[in-house]
Amino acid sequence: MTPERYRDVRVLLTGHTGFKGAWLAAWLLAEGAEVMGLALAPEPGRPSLFEELDLARRIESRFVDIRDAEAVQAAVAAFRPQVVFHLAAQALVRRSYADPLATFAVNVMGTAHVLEAARRTDSVRAVVCVTSDKCYDNREWVWGYRETDPLGGKDPYSASKAAAEIVAASYRQALVPGDRLRLATARGGNVIGGGDWSEDRLVPDLVRAIRAGTPLVLRKPGAVRPWQHVLELLHGYLLLGARLLDGDARAAGAWNFGPARSGEVAVGRLVEAALAAWGGDPIPVRIEPSAVAEAGILKLDTAKAEAGLAWRPLLDFARTVQLTMDWYRGHDADPAAARFLVETQIAGYRRLAAGDEDSARP
């Protein structure tokens, strides 16, 4: 992917007020894209990377609930994007147990609403629909899941992401005009990076515990997850979107984006590495078994993306953790530095992707 590919391209980004969405908006702006965001407004009283990056002023931003099909259709038709990145979602596993109906409504019907609006808007050439590594029928395998493995999901969140994959496949195979619009889905691992302030996520919980001087509560310290920096995943989205924009029919379909093998580590090891990267005195950790079922091991096979998109993970586990904690430590020292920290890390990663091996080194 060259920076020029998104220059002056009209990009619709759903979920731009979320963690990954805010980072992607910032990257697209760095590439020279014209961006419109479609999402719920940030929750009042909570930290928000969207607000810290001043995105409301820098892009066209519409606060729309993707469960409202008419509002989604009106916004897409008015903006007339060329490419759609669909990230808006209810993204928390434990919240899905508390409110399964909202989770299914947002992740399944919300996805259908976005895809239907793209289908009805003749300017749209490409759609990247983001789901999750949890869309697979988890057999607790020690090897990575491939795009051809069965979909499934025992908890409502995982099931909703598997269902979103089926919805997207139906649109791709039966509903969208393939000569005009290319559609792909992107399945990523456990994403970490600066600016994530979500509830019930490991790194934000750790940072909050450090600040408050309270114990960090872990549910399954031995659970293995594919940890990757947010920029790794967004790089995959952008490469995939560029191929779709160029009309490459081979890019349509499902794609995994996961970390290098070094990033497939247990929760407890990530905590140790993050605390070491932060520095200072250690904090106490308390184990409280989860009241809901959670996977013990989950890995992704990324051979398809490496061969088909020339994408590969560029950051090892140590770099991933260091970049993440550098952001939070820098933000802790100066909360006004959020935009500088994001843009600096994006610039470093772009240089790394262009072949400068030292650009993202901590």
pLDDT tens digits along 75-92: 999 999 999 999 999 998
212-253 residue pLDDT tens: 989 999 988 888 888 999 999 999 999 999 999 999 999 999
CA distance 119 to 182: 10
pLDDT of residue 106: 98
Q: Shortest CA distance to 160 belongs to which of 93, 221, 214, 64? A: 93
Q: What is the pTM of this model?
A: 0.95
Contact yes or no for 345/194 (Cβ under 8 A): yes
Task: Give the length of the chain.
Answer: 362
Please write the tens of the pLDDT for every residue from 126-143. 999 999 999 999 998 888
Mean pLDDT, residues 170-187 taken together: 93
Average pLDDT, the chain: 93
Percentage, residues of the chain above pLDDT 90: 81
Closest CA to 11 of 29, 30, 36: 36
pLDDT of residue 284: 87
> What pLDDT score does 247 carry?
93
Q: Which residues pair with 260 in a beta bridge?
A: none
Q: What are the tokens at 337?
A: 């530095």
Q: Which of 51, 65, 57 is nearest to 35 (CA)?
A: 57
List pLDDT tens digits, range 146-168.
999 999 999 999 999 999 999 99
CA terminus-to-terminus distance, the chain: 24
pLDDT tens-place string over residues 95-124? 999 999 999 999 999 999 999 999 999 999
Q: What domains appear along the chain, each with residue ranges and CATH number?
A: 10-190+230-258+297-314+337-354 (3.40.50.720)
Angle at 18 between CA 161 and CA 109, to 5 degrees: 35
pLDDT digits (tens, 9 = 90+) for 296-344: 788 899 999 999 999 999 999 999 999 999 999 999 999 999 999 999 9
pLDDT at 208: 94
Local confidence band at 362 (pLDDT 50, 70, 90 cut-offs): very low
